[in-house]
Amino acid sequence: MTATVIDGKAFAAKVRGQVADHVARLKEAHGITPGLAVVLVGEDPASQVYVRSKGKMTVEVGMKSVEHKLDADTSEADLLAVVKSLNEDPEIHGILVQLPLPGHLNEDLVINSIDPAKDVDGFHISNVGLLGTGQKSMVPCTPLGCLMMLRDHHGSLSGLNAVVIGRSNIVGKPMAQLLLGDSCTVTIAHSRTKDIQDVVRGADVVVAAVGRPEMVTGEWIKPGATVIDVGINRIDAPEKGEGKTRLVGDCNYDSCAEVAGAITPVPGGVGPMTIACLLANTVTACCRANGLAEPEGLTA
């Protein structure tokens, strides 16, 4: 068996197209432009690249893009003041504080200072609680992207056995809640799970989000299962030359692809969906703020 490749890059382009269409309708029918503000503290290279990409794609879909770049030694009070000003700005519908923050800043305090209705990352404790109780919330972008791809591939997820490997607040836990919401039977596996290979082998859907390079092999996968690989790990690649590296997921792609029915690649799988879903969340937040119908297919 050779798995069908779930092309996250192509799917993300489709989602961005849907977002752009809805933004155009909001402008034409209501004179409203969704606005996304990103706050970056410090000069972490990966965060800088990510923020630039977010800003570029925000503009490409027709939305307003605002960036606040703060020095690494910015005080907590000054950062909270920036967040407060964005909370109060009616032209900003989504606020994202780029993580990680410098060590002297309390990430939980900062995230929970964002207006929950503008928390397009879905990390605010209010949104976590709403998602956990099956109520309308802002949904974390990476799990939302995974859910969209699974729905697109399977149609209905009802009754499927799903295993989420990893219990992080950013991916593992919200992913499990979303799968429960679509009537899957869900198990969360992690580093302390006994006989984890046997647990995973019973799954129709495997979402690997554990942060360990190529941990999941084909021997773990039930024939025909769908594998969503959230991991992005950089490992040494001596075959490419001295000091060279390459990106791999949490799954050993080649061995899993021989057994699975469908699989996401790394890179080009879940990664592109994260920014696409950030844009989708911003449009959803804008519609909710203005009492308008939410865009179909862009939220959970």
CB 147 within 8 A of CB 235: no
Going by C-beta distance under 8 Å and a sequence separation of 6 or more, which residues neighbour residue 227? 3, 206, 208, 216, 221, 251, 256, 260, 262, 263, 264
CB 256 within 8 A of CB 221: yes
pLDDT, position 191: 87
Which residue of the set 121, 182, 229, 250 is catalytic? 121
Check if 54 is active-site.
yes
Q: What are the per-10-residue average pLDDT scores of the chain (300 residues)?
A: 93 97 97 98 88 93 97 97 98 96 97 98 98 96 98 97 97 98 97 96 98 96 98 88 89 97 97 96 98 93
Which residue of the set 18, 64, 98, 118 is catalytic? 98
Nearest-angstrom CA–CA distance, 158 and 151: 10
Residue 243 exposure: Cα atoms within 13 Å on the Cβ side: 0
Going by C-beta distance under 8 Å and a sequence separation of 6 or more, which residues neighbour residue 129? none
Residue type, position 131, single letter = L
Helix residue ranges per DSSP H, the chain: 8-30, 45-60, 76-87, 107-111, 125-132, 141-154, 172-181, 196-201, 253-257, 271-289
Going by C-beta distance under 8 Å and a sequence separation of 6 or more, which residues neighbour residue 271? 8, 232
Check if 254 is active-site.
no
Which residue of the set 54, 64, 118, 173 is catalytic? 54
With 0-12 CB in 10 A as exposed, 13-18 as middle and 19+ as buried, what is 108?
A: exposed
Question: Which residues on adjacent β-strands are paired with residue 106?
Answer: none
Tokens of 281: 């969340």
With 0-12 CB in 10 A as exposed, 13-18 as middle and 19+ as buried, what is 33?
A: middle
Tell me the pTM: 0.95
**Model confidence pLDDT, tens digit, residues 250-285:** 999 999 999 999 999 999 999 999 999 999 999 999
pLDDT, position 1: 65
Check if 98 is active-site.
yes
> DSSP labels for 117-132?
GGBTT--SHHHHHHHH
Nearest-angstrom CA–CA distance, 130 and 112: 14
